[in-house]
Every structure is written in C-alpha cells, then in structure tokens.
A and B are shown apart, each in its own frame.
Chain A
Amino acid sequence: MRPSVAAIDQDFYDELIAADGQPRPHARTLVEALEELGPDALTAAGRRRDAIFMQQGITFDAGGPGEGPVRDRPFPLDLVPRIIPASEWTTIKRGLAQRIRALNHFVDDVYHAREIVHDGKVPWELIVSRPAFARAAHGIRPPGGVYCHVSGCDLVRDADGSWKVLEDNVRTPSGISYVLENRRAMTRLLPGLFEHYRVRPVDHYPALLRTALEEVAPTGGEEEATVVVWTPGPYNSAYFEHAFLARQMGVELVEASDLVVRDAVCHIRTTRGLQRVHAIYRRIDDDFMDPLEFRPDSVLGVPGLMRAYRAGSVAIVNAVGTGVADDKAIYHYVPEMIRYYLGEEPLLRNVNTYLLSDREQREWVLQNLADVVVKPTSESGGKGVFIGPRANDEEIARQAAEIKRQPERWIAQDLVRLSTVPTAKPDGTLAPRHVDLRPFAVFGEDIHIVPGGLTRVALREGSMIVNSSQGGGSKDTWVLEDDQYAPASPPLERWSPPRMPGLPLGDAWSSQQQQQQQ
C-alpha cells in the first residue's frame, strides 16, 4: 500500500518511514491509522487540542524572560507521535543511567577531593571558570551523595541511525509536565491511534519524584518528611510545570516569602506557625537562592538557606553547584568521566566537539566554519547558535571575528543531521520535521528513567532549532511495551469478585399504595 504519509528527505533518518518510503515495522499500524484519519480530521483534532490546552492553562511563555509581559500560548503539541521500539529504549536507558552516575560522581569530586583534576583529566581552570561553579557548595555532601536528582540529557539521532547525547541538563531541566499533559491529550483526542499498541505509561513520574525527595529528606527517621516545590512565582515562564508537579505530588508550592530559616533549619510559614521543611525541589537558579551567599540583590531567595543546607537539615534538589557538570565546555569531558569514575566505556556517544580555547582546534574550526555548529557556552534555549551550513558569508565572517575575540565563550560541534518524524502541517498533511529527545531521569536511591520523554520538533521546514522559545513544538513519545507490534490482549487473570446485589432501580411509588386501604 502506497503511504500518503509524506515522503521523507533522503539525507536524514526518519523515525517512522524507512528509506524506501514504506513505514518501519513498528510504525505500520500508526501510519495506517493516520491515513484513515485524513488531514481534515487531524486538523480538527488540532483545534480541539488548542481549545483544551487553553482551557486547562497548558501554556508556556512565548516571550521568554525580560521581553515584556507573559504571553500565554497553548503549548504546541503535534499529534503525530514518535515511536521508540522497546529494544532501542533499553540501550538508551542504560546509556543515560551510566552518564548520570558519572556526572554525579564528577560533581561530588569537584566540590571535594578533585581527584579527576589531580589525575590530569579535566583542567581545574576550566572547572573553576564555569559560571555555575559554586564556591559555596564546596565541602557539602548531600544525603546519599546524590547531586543530580533530576536530569534531562538531550539526545539526538544522527543520519546513520545512531543515538548521541547533544547536551546535559542537571540543574533545573524542565519539560516533564508537557510530557505528561501531551500523553493525556493524545489519549483523549486520538485514542484510536493507540489501538494495537501497548505504550508504556509515563504518569508515574510525580510519584517517582516524590519518593526520591522523601528518600533524600533528612528526617532522621522520626517524622514524616515535609517536601515542597519552590517556584520563583507565577511570572516565571515555566510556572505551569512547577504548579503541575506540586499538584501531582500533593505537596505545597512555595515561593521565597513562604520560606524562612531559623537556627539553621528551614521552615515554611503556615497558618499554624512555622513548620519544618525537609526537602525542597527548587526550580530556581543557584544564583538567586540565597542573598547572603549568592546574588545579594535577589528577591527570589531565602536568606540563610545555605546555612541550613550546610548543616544538613534540609535537602535541596538538585544540589547546589550541579551546573558545573552540564556546562557546554565540560560536556567534552563526559566520556572521560565515565571511564574514570565507572571504569566503563560510554554506551551513548557525545557529538564530536571542538574546544575553541585550544589553539589547534580553533584554527581548524575557523577554516571550516561553514560545516560546523557554534554554540555559546553560557546560553541555553538555542540562543546564539550559529549553524554553518545555513549561514551566508557575512554571518560566517562575523562569527569568526567573535571567536577570535573571545574564544573561551564558544564551542563548536559537528553538525548532527537530526532525525525526522512526520509532522502535521497547518493543512493537516504530513511532512518530515527534525526532532530531538529529552528523557527525564530521577535519581533517589536509584536511577529511574521515564519511558520516552519530551520529543521536541522544529516546526519550520528544514530548521533544526527545536526549542519552544524559538518556535519549536513537541510530540508525544511512545516507548513500546515490547517488540510485539500487534500483541494479543493480556490473558484475563483468575478473578472472582464477591457476589453483590444488582443496582436497585427504584420501583414506581404507586406500588406501595396498596397498603393504603385499611
């Protein structure tokens, strides 16, 4: 059957359609269902999705910080899901767990013995010059030695079909709320697509997070742990997620004014007085957390919080100072960290990266600017990214000058030819668009990774910038239960419910009139 699902671009790996234009085995049923649905129904579903998202307030701030008032837009969800077969996911899962463990070791090392530095693997000047390096975190070891409780490492699939890590995020990675809401929306808008697939659920993430927070909370085994989510407030662009997670976990959502530190113990201000807090899931940068130790002008912080943290009376998730591990310049050393701390070979590869502070590498990059991607080490959200193959001569010259001026501000990477997934255009027909993947991991006593994660898609044709602040969208990500693509329904278990009377129906009242006659 000739698929009407859009042709693919032969230069890239498409996740659902193979090179010969036929759907991949795991995507066959989905493609058939989409064809049957047709572009009109798809567009109609898209309108319903927008209405639902606006109603439920599943929005994000399109403007970004510092660009005027918050402009809520419904979070862009494309209705064509991305499918990852079970066997591929197993590899990804293992690779991520390994990487997170290594990063965690690194953070611990940086703020204590610095063994990796003494053994010459990572230069100290590089570490200490990272903006996220937190002097105040030196010597503090949080419970269980876990620093990177929540991580979101961005993965991409190259044109040869291999998975690579594009970037690590171990400070306050966001997006899990959209993963959960996307899945919920998909089951409501297009339940027919789920037919014949057993898709692994994702909605246990809040339970995972809450358990992890309770596991690291220093209660001394006595009281029930009080756990809170700390948000900068409703004007923060990710506020939806903060509120969402607090609600799903059943814990308080606090702002700085709710928190107070007395006697090196952190409390929240309640109607019944001060109540101790044991663990804080903070969605606020290190820099703003405590005006006594970090930025003194921060009104979002809690004075004395670091004192409580140092005293070990409160757990902060993620730990202070983890940003030193997800800096783009440190990224280059992560495979080495895996070998050094774990004695293993990395299961997931890095994208080839060039350090522009190194003279030889810089020379090479300057010669080949038209073929590489250049990123500023201190930005996030896709800002300031230079894409060589898309740039004209003037832009290339400008970038070269910038690099020469401040080489330590930049790194360069090989251009990854991001994989594509068929995506709905405004008229409902499908066309390939580039995607990446951000799985979410929770590290409490152990590392748990939610199946799939946030697939971000560049909605403009040919664009590879997937960040939502730059016009990107998202897709529901399906990890299949196993590699059976048309599973039989699971066998009914032996199950004998108790006997009960059927639901009563309420006889007509008149039947009781008989007793009237005396």
Chain B
Amino acid sequence: MLARIAHELYWIGRQLARAEHTSRMLDGVFHADLQGRPDDPAGVQLSWDALLTIVSGEPPESPASRDQVLRLLTLDPDHPTSVLNCISRAREGARTVRDVFSGEMWEAINTFHLGLLQRNISAAVQTGPYSVYAYVRERCGLFWGVTSRTMLRDEAHAFLQAGAAIESADMVLRMLRVALPADGADTHVLDGQALALLQAVGGFQAYRRAVPAPPNARPVARFLLFERDYPDSVAFSIEALHAALTAADPAYRSSPAVLRLSRLMADLDFRARTPAPDSRIAGTLQLVQQELGLVDADIAQRYFGGPAQPAARPAA
C-alpha cells in the first residue's frame, strides 16, 4: 500500500489512543483530587504538575492549577497534545484515507469531532468534566468497535492498530514513570499514586481479578507493565504492536522494528518472571520507553519512506 497512507493510518491510531489515554488520565485525577486522604493507607493522589510532565516530558516551571491543566489538556486548540487537537488531527487524517476507511469508521470519527466542537466544553470542564471524558471514551470505543467489525484485516488495518498500540504503551509508560519515581518519596504517597493511576486507566477491576495483593505501588507497576492479559498493559500493547507489524510486513523477519520488538518482548517476559527490587522497575520503564522510541524510528524508516528502496522481498 502507499507509504503515505500507511503513515497516515499509523498516526490516526496514535492520535486516537493519545486522546483516550489523556481523557482517562484527566478524569481519574480530577475525581481523585476532589476528596482528601482517608485515615487508611489507600489514599489517592496524583498532582496536576505530574500530568503536564507526562505530556511534555518536563515538569512545569510554575505549579499548575487544576483548572489550567484541565483546560490546556482538554480543549486548548493550541496545545499540541490536547484532546481536542488529537481528535482534530485524527479527523484530518481520516479525510485523507477515506477510501481505506469504511463509511461507518469515517462517520464515527467525523461525528466525534463535530461533537467535541459543539459541546460547550468550556462550561463542562469547569463544572463537571465527567461528561466530556465519558463522551471521549464512548466515541473512541465506538470507533474501534466499528473498525473491528467492518475493516478488512489488511496492511491498512495493521498500521492503524500499530499506531494505537505503540501510543498506548508509551502513554502508560509515561504515567508509570511520573507517578512512581524511583527516588525516595515515601511509600504511602507512592501507593496512593499507584491506586490513582490504576483507576485512571480503568484497570482497577481487572487488577483485582488478576492480582491478590492490595493495589500498592509495586504490584500495580508490575501489573501495568507485565500483565499480558490486561489490554492496557505495556506488555500487551507491545505484543499487539509486534503482531500488527508482522501482519503488515511480508518480510517481517528482516524488519529492524520487528526484531527489536521480539527482543523487547523476550526481555519483558524475563523481567516479569524474576522478582526484582523496586529500583529495577524504574530502570525497566526507562529502557522500554527508549526502545519504543527506537522502534518508532525503525517503523518510520522502513515503511514510511526512508531513502527510496525497492519493495521488500520475502526472504528466500
């Protein structure tokens, strides 16, 4: 398929996943923020600065207020990673690939975009952002549901899924790295942030069914990193990415991205099985994020038009 179209689809997947994760995160932190710390060590806390750090990579110079962050990350048309912007870009991309998308898929994204523009988001963010984030979750769910029902499982589909997978992994890694830093914040606070994180991604019930331990920092981090049965874990996303690229590329055995991913998956599996001190988790998170960055570069290089090359031939 056309490299340009593949590139577009990959980024549509990324933008949608980014919008959904950002919404979940904002929703989770907003509601956790409304209530104080209980007299039990199950406190919930994730500061607003943390959210800005997650998207920009650097902590903000001055402490951000709740309203500022909500506005910025939800509906600021100038902030590059606001939810509104992500959906706008996805929609623009979808216009380019209308021939590849089914009619229902296009309608889903387009209506989503229109809906965001029409809602009085400003008022909602102020008084009760729940409905905005619920809307985003619903519409993303609709899009992916329609995609899974109506889209041919071809290269196009694979690149769409690849984009969503790599972005999911990256977003969860960022949240983990920010919420659970290695250095000596006291465990009480860390545990509270872990619970907030878990509830923000919507994984609380899955966690409870899968893990017998109470939701403290260490088991939550391990769950979100290694649990291959949980659809939002890093391990699951990486496997999905690997599967998508394997499906897209007939010569996948010679694809640097796929090779890198295979190695990463094996490494993650190994780390999952060996009990390790807490400091190693931070190291693992950093490593995985770096590797994913390299995978992204590999993908761009191989599929979206590095120096023009003859079409890849299946290995003889």
Contacts and interface: CB of A to CB of B under 8 A. Distances in A.
Interface of A: 183-184, 187-192, 194, 198-204, 207-208, 211, 224, 247-251, 448, 451, 481, 492-506, 509, 512-513, 515-516, 518
Contacts of B57: 499-503
Contacts of B39: 200, 451
Nearest to A506: B11
Contacts of B18: 503
Contacts of B210: 250
A515 B208 contact: no
Nearest to A195: B34
B40 A204 contact: yes
Interface string B103-144: 000000000000000000000000110100000000000000
A498 B11 contact: no
A250 B207 contact: yes
B24 interface: no
Interface residues on B, range: 35 or more
B38 interface: yes
Given A188-B128, A251-B208, 10 more contacts: A192-B127, A224-B212, A494-B185, A495-B47, A495-B185, A497-B50, A497-B177, A497-B178, A500-B177, A509-B8
8 contacts: A187-B34, A188-B130, A192-B127, A201-B36, A251-B208, A497-B178, A512-B305, A516-B305
Contacts of A481: 36-37
Contact of B35 (A200, A249, A492): A200
A503 B44 CA distance: 26
B183 interface: yes
B205 A247 contact: yes
Contact of A191 (B34, B212, B305, B308): B34
B63 interface: yes
Interface of B: 3-4, 7-8, 11, 14-15, 18, 30-31, 34-40, 42-44, 47, 49-50, 53, 55-59, 63, 80-81, 89, 127-128, 130, 170, 174, 177-178, 181-183, 185, 189, 205, 207-210, 212, 214-215, 282, 286, 289, 293, 296, 300, 304-308
A494 B53 CA distance: 15
A202 B42 CA distance: 10
B181 A516 contact: no
Contacts of A194: 34-35
Given A188-B31, A250-B209, A448-B40, A497 B128 contact: no
B208 A498 contact: no
A199 B34 CA distance: 8
A498 B177 contact: yes
Contacts of A208: 40
Q: Interface centre among A199, A493, A503, A518, by most B CB within 10 Å? A: A503
Given A448-B40, A509-B304, A492 B177 contact: no
Chief secondary structure at chain A's binding surface: loop
Contacts of B306: 512, 515
B35 A201 contact: yes
Contacts of B289: 500
Contact of B58 (A492, A499, A509): A499
Contact of A211 (B4, B214, B305): B214
Nearest to B126: A192
Contacts of B183: 496
Nearest to A518: B308
Contact of A515 (B4, B80, B305): B305
A249 B208 contact: yes
B185 A513 contact: no
Contacts of A513: 305
B128 A207 contact: no
Given A200-B39, A497-B53, A506 B14 contact: yes
A498 B214 CA distance: 26
A49 B3 CA distance: 49
Nearest 10 CB-CB pairings of A with B = A250-B208, A198-B36, A481-B36, A204-B42, A188-B130, A500-B57, A201-B35, A506-B11, A502-B57, A250-B209
Nearest to B43: A201
Contacts of A201: 35-38, 42-44
Given A207-B214, A498-B282, A191 B59 contact: no
A189 to B, nearest CB: 7
Contacts of B14: 506
Nearest to B15: A506
B89 to A, nearest CB: 8
A183 B185 CA distance: 29
A86 B282 CA distance: 39
Nearest to A37: B127
A501 B173 CA distance: 12
Contacts of B58: 499, 502
Given A250-B208, A497-B181, A207 B42 contact: yes
B188 to A, nearest CB: 11
Contacts of B286: 498
B80 A199 contact: no
Contacts of A224: 212
A481 B43 CA distance: 12
Nearest to A204: B42
A204 B296 contact: no
Contacts of B3: 509
A401 B170 CA distance: 76
Nearest to B206: A250
Contacts of A189: 128, 130
A401 B215 CA distance: 59
Contacts of A183: 35
B253 to A, nearest CB: 24
Contact of B296 (A198, A251, A504): A504
Contacts of A184: 31
Q: Interface centre among A183, A247, A250, A509, by most B CB within 10 Å? A: A509
A502 B35 contact: no
Contacts of A247: 205
A280 B289 CA distance: 43
